Amino acid sequence: MSAKIISGTETAKAIREELKTEVTELKEKYNVVPGLVTILVGDNPASQSYVAAKNKTAHALGIHSEQVTVPGDISEDDLLALVDKYNNDDKIHGILVQLPLPGHINEAKVLFAIDPDKDVDGFHPVNIGKMMLGEQCFLPCTPHGILELLQRSGVETSGAEVVVVGRSNIVGKPIANLMLQKRAGGNATVTLCHTRTRDMDFHTRRADILIVAAGVPKMIKGDQVKEGVVVIDVGVNRIGKSESGKAILAGDVDFDSVKEKAAAITPVPGGVGPMTITMLMKNTVQAARQSLDNKE
């Protein structure tokens, strides 16, 4: 069997079209333009390119987007003051502080300072708590993108054995939690694996849906999965450079061997990656819509 490819590029494109319509409607009916600010501290090249991609996507969808770059030696107090300025700016519905932050700044303190109603990254404890409880909130973008990919590809999650490899706060823990919520797109039986898991192959081999977010290139091989599994590969690993100097990317899954057994699989690139930015845009539009509700 050769797997069906679950294309994040195509799914993201479809969601972006829906968002464009929603942005137009917000403007025409309510005179509201969703606004996003991205705050970049320092000059980390990877962060610069992530922030640039976010701004470009926002512009393409008609979202008002501001990019603020501050020096890497900014004090924690000054950064907190900047966040507070945007907490009180009515044009801005979503605030994103690009991670990682320099070592002298307490990352948690900065993330917790963002107004939860503008926390479009979904990292504030209020949103994480609401997510755990199954309440309406901003979902963290990568897990949110995985949910959309599964749902829009028609993958049945109810009763499925879902195995997640990786327990980070931004991917593994939230996606495990979302998959077990008692609602459509959830209702799975979830196992969460990490570096202390005994006999990981035992778990990966019984997965109906395998979600891998470990940051180890091509770690999961064909002999570690069962026939018919649906595989979501979150990993983005730079494994070299092409002759033209472009980074060569690999996922956490050995695509070539796993695709021979899987029913469906996400590629890298073109899988989860494009969904993450799109979900940031979706959360920003949601924030703008909620700001209207708060005014009523």
Active site residues: 54, 98, 121
Residue 187 binds to ligand NAP (criterion: CB under 6 A): no
Residue 166 binds to ligand NAP (criterion: CB under 6 A): yes
Q: Can you tell me which of 216, 221, 257, 289 binds ligand NAP, judged by CB under 6 A? A: 216
Nearer to ligand NAP, 65 or 204 (CB): 204
Nearer to ligand NAP, 85 or 194 (CB): 194
Q: Can you tell me which of 6, 213, 250, 281 binds ligand NAP, judged by CB under 6 A? A: 213
Q: Looking at the DSSP assignment, which residues form a beta bridge with residue 163?
A: 191, 210
Residue 193 binds to ligand NAP (criterion: CB under 6 A): yes
How many Å is the maximal CA-CA distance in the chain?
57
Peptide bond into 269 cis (omega under 30): yes
Q: Among candidates 93, 87, 90, 133, which has minimal Cα distance to 112?
A: 87
> Residue type at 45?
P
Residue 158 has a CB neighbour count (10 Å cut-off) of: 12
Nearer to ligand NAP, 167 or 226 (CB): 167
- What would the x/- binding string for ligand NAP be over residues 84 to 123, using CB under 6 A? ----------------------------------------
CB of 64 to ligand NAP, least distance (A): 24
**Residues 268 and 220 sit within 8 Å (Cβ to Cβ):** no
Residue 25: C-alpha distances to residues 124, 226, 291 (Å):
28, 46, 15
Residue 215 binds to ligand NAP (criterion: CB under 6 A): yes
| 237-241 vs 189-193, strand pairing mode | unpaired
Q: Can you tell me which of 170, 207, 285, 288 binds ligand NAP, judged by CB under 6 A? A: 170
